[in-house]
Amino acid sequence: MKGHYQLIIGGARSGKSALAEQRALASGKSCVYLATGTPGDEEMALRIDNHRRRRGDEWLLVEEPLFLAQALLANHAQDRTLLVDCLTLWLSNCLHNQTWDAQRQQLLEILPTLSGEIILVSNEVGSGIVPLGELTRRFVDESGFLNQALASICHRVTQVVAGLPQELK
């Protein structure tokens, strides 16, 4: 039996992660938090620690900064909710490691085959100015293309602005 897929998008500090966590817990299934961020500096380590404290001990934690499709494949189950937070950190990791094209393709191929509940969290980065650098422009472009592709696969798409969810699909 195939799963149910959600995409939650929003800007930085919009409340998208908190909403995703609420929905995962409300599913009544065991919850797996699939974290893509790495503590590359003190500020990021603090962000990760804040997310961990907010979630508490109810979650199984899987940390995977690059091979997201494989982590989803290894952890999905009909009685589980997988929460991926966040796709834009994963995208950044893949771009820096020059694995983006292959990893993106694997995710888009594997996602529709997974069972259980899958909640994907992504930043909406395309509403600002066009960045100056080539890599940052590619990041914005690829993020937008990824969000569009996932929105077409997902059963539910929610945009969060100022902590308020807006149902798009």
Instruction: Write out the two tokens for 80.
Output: 């589980």
Q: Does the annotation count 51 as an active-site position?
A: yes
User: How many CB atoms within 10 Å of residue 80?
Assistant: 20
Q: Is the peptide bond before 86 cis (omega within 30 degrees of 0)?
A: yes
Determine the Cα–Cα distance for residues 9 and 25; give it in Å rounded to an integer: 18
Q: What one-character-per-residue DSSP string does 15-81 give?
A: SHHHHHHHHHHHT-SEEEEEE-----SHHHHHHHHHHHHHHGGGEEEEE-SS-HHHHHHHH--TTEE
* 4, 51, 76, 155: the active-site residue: 51
Determine the Cα–Cα distance for residues 98 and 153; give it in Å rounded to an integer: 25
| Residues pairing with 21 in the sheet | none
**What residues are annotated to the active site?**
51
